[in-house]
């Protein structure tokens, strides 16, 4: 279970919170507000691998744009298609 502690508590007993963070993230607050999270190194590696590369749509060719326009989400995710079509960002 994720725990929330003050920065002062962490500084007084860092080793214990470091051990706790290996099991579950530890949210560290400053002035009563969440400020940082202490996590296991393996979790950090897993999260950084999920970073995605972003490219401008202007860099896509016509064939790629046509393929994107023709694509559909898997049937089990139709609720996402509905969300796209009713979004304020939906194409007119």
Claim to verify: residue 62 and residue 37 sit in the same structural domain: no
Query: How many domains, in total, are found in the chain?
Result: 2
Q: Report how far apart, in Å, the C-alpha atoms of 32 and of each of 53, 82, 88 are.
A: 35, 40, 36
pLDDT value at residue 30 = 95
Whole-angstrom Cα distance, residue 48 to residue 82?
31
CATH code of 25's domain: 3.40.1620.10
pLDDT value at residue 1 = 80
Assigned domain for 91 exists: no
Claim to verify: residue 11 and residue 44 sit in the same structural domain: yes
Claim to verify: residue 45 and residue 72 sit in the same structural domain: no
- Average pLDDT along the chain, 92 residues, taken 10 residues at a time: 93 96 96 96 86 78 89 78 68 56
Residue with token string 């080793």: 15
The domain in which residue 67 lies consists of: 57-86
Q: Report how far apart, in Å, the C-alpha atoms of 35 and of each of 7, 38, 47, 89, 90 are.
A: 9, 10, 18, 32, 35
Assigned domain for 92 exists: no
Per the CB < 8 A criterion, the answer to whether 3 and 22 are in contact is no
The predicted model scores a pTM of 0.54
Assigned domain for 29 exists: yes
pLDDT value at residue 5 = 97
């Amino acid at each position: 279970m994720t725990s929330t502690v003050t920065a002062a508590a962490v500084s007084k007993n860092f080793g214990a919170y470091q051990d706790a963070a290996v099991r579950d993230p530890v949210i560290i607050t400053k002035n009563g507000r969440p400020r940082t999270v202490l996590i296991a190194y393996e979790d950090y590696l897993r999260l950084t691998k999920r970073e995605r590369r972003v490219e401008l749509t202007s860099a896509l060719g016509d064939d790629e744009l046509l393929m994107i326009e023709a694509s559909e989400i898997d049937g089990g995710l139709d609720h996402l298609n509905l969300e796209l079509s009713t979004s304020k960002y939906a194409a007119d």
